[in-house]
Structure formats: C-alpha cells, structure tokens
C-alpha cells in the first residue's frame, strides 16, 4: 500500500478501533511525541486515506430490524437515466450502499428498513420507481455474522 509505513498502519488501525482517540493518546500508543504523530495524522487526512470520522450506530436499536441485499437490473444505461438513478440512490437514507456490479445484475444495494411491511413499501415507493429498473431481487439477512468497516492496513 503506497505511503503506508508501519507507523502509519498502526495509526490507521488504532483510529479504526477508536476514532475519538486523542492525538496525545495516539502518540502514547505509538511511543512517539505528539507533534510528529499529529503531522502523520494530518498527512493521512490530507491525502484522503482518512476520509472522515463517524459514530457506528446499532441499526436494531434504532428500529431498523430488516437488512436486504437487493440486486437490480436496468434496461436504460444512458447518461440521463444513470445520473437520475445515482441522484436518487445518493439521497435515499435507507440505501446504505450501492455497487455497480458485473454479472447478471447491474447493481447491488444494501437496504435497511424497520420491518417487512416497511421494506415492502420501500420497494414500491422507491426501487420500482428508479429509472430503467427491470428486475428487483431481494435477499433478506437472517443473521448478521460480521459487520465491519475496518480495512486491513498491513
């Protein structure tokens, strides 16, 4: 990985585990002084390796008990339809992720909903209205065995 030495990898691992860690605590973990640690951290932010910081929320405790993996096929791939499709995807909070994929389907979405009735309403009100969608296939998660946004940095 370009620009990732051992110390930078340690910084990234520590921050992925605790994004609220102070620079002083980070420097302490790395056995280095605060100023060089801060410089390394700023460089990781400036180069875009660290894109931002956020709190990880428990979706179930927020009442979002259903997670669906949705495969979409589209008939329209022109610039206008694609731009509108992307705009809708980006502003829809129930869609956590959307990937343009190879294979039989064009897109794979990760969608959350309160319950099956809420998911059904979401399919009708949002997914079926996306430009050019010809097929919607849903796989509901029965048990989440691993969920992580931590990336391997070594």
Give the tens place of pLDDT for each residue, 18-67.
Answer: 999 999 999 999 999 999 999 999 999 999 999 999 999 999 999 999 99
Query: Could you tell me the two tokens for 129?
Result: 């209205």
Q: Whole-prediction pTM value?
A: 0.87
Predicted local distance difference test score (pLDDT) of residue 113: 98
DSSP string for 24-86: HHHHHHHTS-HHHHHHHHHHHHHTTSS----PPP-TTTTT--EEEEEEEEES--SHHHHHHHH
The encoded tokens of residue 77 equal 């791939």
Helices (H) and strands (E) in the chain, counts: 5, 4
**2 pLDDT band (50/70/90 cuts)?**
low
- E strand or H helix at 23: helix 23-30
pLDDT tens profile 64-114: 999 999 999 999 778 888 899 999 999 999 999 999 999 999 999 999 999
């Amino acid at each position: 990985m370009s620009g990732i030495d051992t110390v930078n990898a340690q910084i990234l691992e520590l921050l992925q585990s605790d994004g609220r860690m102070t620079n002083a605590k980070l420097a302490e973990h790395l056995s280095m002084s605060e100023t060089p640690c801060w410089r390394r951290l700023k460089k990781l932010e400036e180069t875009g390796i660290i894109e931002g910081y956020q709190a990880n929320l428990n979706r179930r405790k927020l009442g979002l008990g259903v997670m669906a993996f949705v495969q979409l096929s589209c008939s329209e791939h022109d610039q206008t339809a694609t731009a509108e499709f992307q705009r809708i995807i980006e502003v829809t909070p129930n869609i956590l992720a959307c990937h343009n994929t190879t294979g039989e389907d064009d897109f794979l979405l990760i969608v959350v909903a309160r319950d099956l009735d809420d998911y059904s309403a979401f399919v009708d009100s949002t997914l079926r209205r996306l430009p050019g969608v010809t097929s919607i296939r849903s796989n509901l998660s029965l048990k989440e065995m691993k969920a992580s946004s931590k990336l391997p940095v070594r």
